Structure 1
């Protein structure tokens, strides 16, 4: 049962829009703040949400939002997330991912809003020193994107000490898949995630998929990643909200399946799902790509009662293929 409206920043984006739908299905009241730089208005059921187009860094807008709507909690998705761009333009990432949320947090402090769910990332861990990665793994981010998320985690812990803010840092592994309805999906421009890139190559909208490195110390020589379905991410946010409502303390939680799949395995599964041969070009390794990233998700089960329901990447690929070939996804596949 809803205890108050929820403010969802970046709620028109990929993970945000899926979480909005999940929360609405649980009869929550939802306010979405999004500047639509990467989000999409048509990813939201506008008749069921309060939508505000604007910037987190706009202090006047944020103050008006809190004064009028009095949100009970904030679920924060709004961030730039292109690792390569963060290396070439770090100030853009620190301004948006670290500085802008300070305006939001100041308003929360003024209005006594003390629950914050943060869309963080496994990139805060940097190069893994052990696999699987649990929450005690050292945090040593190797790019400004990961560093900006790690720094905001530090800010949130300081806010807890100073004025009692309680936060859950949800450290995602590789988000993938789309809503089973096919109505909303992974809609990035430019696209950098493996599964949609592979499917674009299957449709001919991309000439090929490039596999970066075939000499990693893995069974088939390609990188291994932990793919977590976006609907599982959405359900984790609802459970994290329940945890905070029940008085939970600030905590970091990994979101992953605990299972890893290689680039070649994903491509082979996509070929099976689509019935198409996917053209492949083999390239050199990319700097900074670890050979393996797999979560230890045990703490999520223990603390918020969450386990991934979609363990087979075939489900992720099937849902992404359905969206890409539907009325919404079709225009984005070009």
Structure 2
């Protein structure tokens, strides 16, 4: 039996594939390589194609004995989602519908969904709990919430059990140094800051310094990508053990501001990393920090790489040895 990883050539997906392979799992990967990289897939069976292609997806399920699905495939840029929400509904929501329909036809009844803490929107309290209200402030978060709700109704109607994992900012790279973060365009803070240290950018843009935080910049919860990969595997094991569907936050519980990330990156790289203040971006909440107590208690998950310095160092080791990403 194999695990199907959608979006498995992407940043977090490729780390999940690596973790599954390390555990001796058979892995099938589906990725349209729009944002993913063939070189990020360290093993398993890769199918290049789109979830919205019913004939293609049916073939994947027909050719493999799939035990469960880990679903990463989605567009995930907040700013882009505010400019082109239709793209996000079509790829994220419709793509998930196509996946669920093929799972139903194939009799596959387990899915771990890579969701986001953007489903909460501007939180009423910090740290955020899984039972807090979900009022997204951007189209990306809205589509992820719609995907969660759709999966839940497929559970009600067809018994497809799920674990939805809501998390914040992934960062870092695999300890082997073989895979890391390579987006085009890049939108994540840590690699953008490190691009300045590599001489690929003149400065790092800081979008707003008038937020109600100690230094005026947004605060986020950063998690090492390998810790996220571990959580997805633990969630799959929970479903294999016959447990009920659940939603979990994944977070270190520590919030770091944009300015703090820049300061730590200066220390790690030894580069001055000039910063330039820009206007706020639409849809950016001031503070997002998650409570992951339920994940720790019920999944047995705990991040092993919690310090921001360790996360940034891990990322720096990847970027300085792969200054152009996976490009040869």
Q: TM-score, normalised by structure 2?
A: 0.97
Aligned to 2:276: 281
Distance in 2 (alpha carbons) for counterparts of 1:60 and 1:275: 52
1:167 corresponds, among 162, 175, 189, to: 162
Aligned to 1:147: 142
1:266 corresponds, among 241, 261, 265, to: 261
3-state secondary structure, aligned to 2:4:
strand
Aligned to 1:16: 13
Distance in 2 (alpha carbons) for counterparts of 1:41 and 1:333: 9
Any idea what the Cα deviations from partners look like across 1:246-299, whole Å, max 9, x if unmatched? 111111100110110111111111011001111111223323222211000101
Aligned to 2:32: 35
State the shift of 1:333 in Å: 9.6
Residues 201-240 of structure 1: matches in 2 within 5 Å?
A: 201-240=196-235
Distance in 2 (alpha carbons) for counterparts of 1:169 and 1:257: 17
2:4 corresponds, among 3, 7, 14, to: 7
Residue pair 2:164, 2:248 contacting (<8 A) in 1 also: yes
Residue pair 1:200, 1:333 contacting (<8 A) in 2 also: no
State the shift of 1:200 in Å: 0.5
Aligned to 1:332: 325
3-state secondary structure, aligned to 1:20:
helix
State the shift of 1:241 in Å: 0.7
Any idea what the Cα deviations from partners look like across 1:295-320, whole Å, max 9, x if unmatched? 00101011111011111111111111
Distance in 2 (alpha carbons) for counterparts of 1:333 and 1:21: 16
Could you list the runs of 5+ residues in structure 1 that have no partner in the other structure?
none
Residues 175-324 of structure 1: matches in 2 within 5 Å?
A: 175-324=170-319
Distance in 1 (alpha carbons) for counterparts of 2:326 and 2:265: 16
Q: 1:333 to 1:275 in 2, by over 3 A?
A: farther
Any idea what the Cα deviations from partners look like across 1:148-173, whole Å, max 9, x if unmatched? 11011111110111011100000011
Distance in 2 (alpha carbons) for counterparts of 1:273 and 1:11: 29
Any idea what the Cα deviations from partners look like across 1:74-127, whole Å, max 9, x if unmatched? 100000011111111111110100002212111111111000000100011111
State the shift of 1:63 in Å: 1.3
Q: TM-score, normalised by structure 1?
A: 0.95
Residues 32-111 of structure 1: matches in 2 within 5 Å?
A: 32-45=29-42, 48-111=43-106
Residue pair 2:198, 2:323 contacting (<8 A) in 1 also: no
Could you list the runs of 5+ residues in structure 2 that have no partner in the other structure?
none
Any idea what the Cα deviations from partners look like across 1:142-196, whole Å, max 9, x if unmatched? 2211111101111111011101110000001111111122211111011111110
State the shift of 1:19 in Å: 0.5
